[in-house]
Amino acid sequence: MLSSVFSATVSGVDGLRVIVETDVSGGLPCLEIVGMPAASVKEAKHRVRSAIRNSGFSIPSRRITVNLAPAGLHKAGTQLDLAMAVSLLVASRQLPHTTICNYGFLGELALDGTIRPVPGVLAMVLALYESGHEGAVIPVDNQGEVAFLKGFDIRVASNLAQVAAFVKGQASLPAAVAPSAKRNATSGSVVYEQIRGQRAAKRALEIAAAGEHSILLVGPPGAGKSLLAKALPEIMPDLSHEESVTVTKIHSVAGLLPKGSGLLTRRPFRSPHHTVTPAAMVGGGAIPKPGEITLAHRGVLFLDELPEFSVQVINALRQPLEDGVVNITRKGGTYRFPCRVLLVAAMNLCPCGHWGSDWQFCQCTPHQRRQYVSKVNGPLLDRIDIFMPVRRVEIEELAREPNGESAQLVKQRVEQARNLQRKRLEGTGLVSNAEMGPKQLSTLLSISASGRRLLLDAYNRMGLSTRAYYRIMKVAATIADLDGSSRIEEVHVAEALSYRQRVLE
């Protein structure tokens, strides 16, 4: 007998529907899986056999062929276990087919029939939802990430016996339940208002958060560069629903979603070590997985000690930072990973870190300093919007009680600026000033005559590249948005130009 049961797999960060076809026919007893299965899928036959036997069913002593369609799509992971078990039981007439014809089944099977959680459930359930299915059966521990879906019947199960009773119509499976808000909450890493001094750096961070502009912090060790970077998510707006779904899907595929977590609402913060490889940074592998830049999508990617990263890693970042997407081609196809990030980089000016410091003498030679800074090449620096020197805070400021603005107040200003940008960019598919191209800059922005003269003068006097010219315009637009101005004035351009100062000399 032949049966077809629906499931799904992951390609990049997107889910794809899979049809699990099982045929039980005459011949020597065996269980063969075809349809480009990876090793983890081929091994499922052992898990499926044991799970079926230990759940009170039997394996027919006949030739069993399981085809995973579409056969030309590479399948990996253990999420197909449950669908294969159900399909085999239907094909061997131990379960009816009527109840499950429009449901998808996802989950890894333990040898005793227990259903274990799998990564990427959100992406796969969305694939089933968009394919017009009625619902899905998933592991209990994965229910939080998909419970927000409306109009889609998501059921959770703990073991194969429960699923069999559901298919027979003898019992109902509980519906997916969203986790409590308290359980889903995450706390910030740093209290923004506790950072002493650094008014100029805080202003630069506010502009960066308001327009999603990349920023480079330059200064000696202990000046507070890392602290400032880690405080940045506190003043960034919470994720929109659409962004939340995408970010949660990425972290689910990567297996980084906390157990029982629902949709992520805080923007991610990723800080890879400088020994990271290019594949780990932008994604890769035989079956490509998201890299650090994708895991930071719609959040902050912090590169501390930027010159210590390999040249290969720095060069690999250039195209993704510009396009907001990573395309990785393998023989199985092309994988697309979103990576629209706010890049925050920090560095010293020499190997010892004390060049330019007013409290400790630098022992590096001029050649060593030039060689160290040259690791950060021009094309990457051209993609930085804001350059900010960070000085050591004086002891008097450290001893004072914090008297700066609260993170909530700054966040409100940032959100107001973002709202102006969303209205301006409505219908373009863009959400922030940093994403605008030359076309949007020329048609959507208004700049005063004096502001334009100042910008053109700076272009010639400072020897700016075309890319740097447009980036200054974007930063000036964000400063105007923070001021609530309908056009870019000369004062906004002047402040934007101040963030292009030569901090690496």
- pLDDT tens string 418-465: 999 999 999 999 999 999 999 999 999 999 999 999 999 999 988 888
**Secondary structure of 175-213 in the HEC alphabet?**
ECCCCCHHHHCCCCCCCHHHCCCCHHHHHHHHHHHHHCC
3-state secondary structure of 57: coil
**Token digits of residue 241:** 């629903």
**First-to-last CA distance in the chain?**
76
Cross-strand bridge partners of residue 156: 138
CB 463 within 8 A of CB 500: no
- State yes or no: pLDDT of 220 exceeds 90: no
CA 498 to each of CA 377, 414, 472, 476, 485: distance values in angstroms, whole numbers, following the listed order:
21, 20, 10, 11, 19
The pLDDT, as a whole number, for residue 85 is 97
Q: pLDDT-derived band of residue 284, with 50, 70 and 90 as boundaries?
A: confident
Q: What top-level class would CATH report for the domain 2-168?
A: alpha beta
Burial of 149 (0-12, 13-18, 19+ CB in 10 A): middle
- 223 or 146, greater pLDDT: 146
Distance CA 42, CA 48 (A): 11
**Measured between alpha carbons, how far is 44 from 84 in angstroms, rounded to an integer?**
8
| Model confidence band, residue 187 (pLDDT cutoffs 50, 70, 90) | very low
Q: Which of 24-28, 228-232, 397-401, 444-448 has the lowest mean pLDDT?
A: 397-401
Between 74 and 343, name the one with better pLDDT: 343
Q: 387 has which bridge partners? A: 216
> Under a CB-based contact definition with an 8 Å cutoff, are residues 294 and 253 in contact?
no
Q: What residue ranges do the domains of the chain occupy?
A: 2-168, 192-498
Strands (DSSP E) along 224-350, which ranges? 269-270, 300-303, 325-330, 333-338, 342-347
pLDDT, tens digit, 9 for 90 and up, residues 55-66: 999 999 999 999
* Band (186; pLDDT cuts 50, 70, 90): very low
Beta-carbon count within 10 A of 251 CB: 24
258 pLDDT more than 90: no
pLDDT of residue 98: 72
How many Cβ atoms are within 10 Å of 383's Cβ, its own excluded? 17
Mean pLDDT, range 92-96, rounded to an integer? 93
Side chain identity, residue 78: T
Structure tokens at 13: 């960060």
Note the pLDDT tens digit of each residue in 356-414: 777 778 888 888 888 888 878 777 888 899 999 988 776 666 666 666 788 899 999 99
Residue 179's pLDDT band, with cuts at 50, 70 and 90, is: confident
| pLDDT for the residue numbered 370 | 85
Strands 14-25, 2-11: pairing is: antiparallel
Query: β-strand 300-303 against 269-270: which pairing, if any?
Result: parallel
CB atoms under 10 Å from CB of 50, counted, come to: 16
* φ, ψ dihedrals at 399, nearest 5°: -80, -20
Q: Rounded to whole angstroms, how far apart are CA atoms 299 and 269?
A: 6
Q: CB–CB of 211/431 below 8 Å?
A: no
pLDDT of residue 122: 97
How high is the pLDDT of residue 287? 82
Q: Are 258 and 288 in contact (CB under 8 A)?
A: no
CA distance 367 to 360: 19
Residues 117, 162 contacting (CB under 8 angstroms):
no
Query: And the tokens for 126?
Result: 């969305």
pLDDT at 210 over 60: yes
Q: What percent of the chain has pLDDT over 70?
A: 94
pLDDT value, residue 395 = 64
One fold for 2-168 and 192-498: no
Tokens of 273: 């070590």
How high does pLDDT run on average in the chain?
90
- Does the domain at 192-498 match CATH 3.40.50.300? Answer given as yes
Average pLDDT over residues 230-239: 93
What is the average per-residue pLDDT within 206-215?
96
pLDDT at 188 over 70: no
Distance CA 327, CA 329 (A): 7
- Give the integer Cα–Cα distance in Å for 285 and 277: 11
Whether omega before 70 lies within 30 degrees of 0, making that bond cis, reads yes
Q: Buried b / exposed e across 81-109, counting CB within 10 Å, b at 16+?
A: bbbbbbbbbbbbebbebeebeebbbbbbb
Among candidates 252, 281, 254, which has minimal Cα distance to 264? 252
154 bridge partner residues: 136
Closest by CA to 311, choosing from 375, 383, 367, 382, is 375
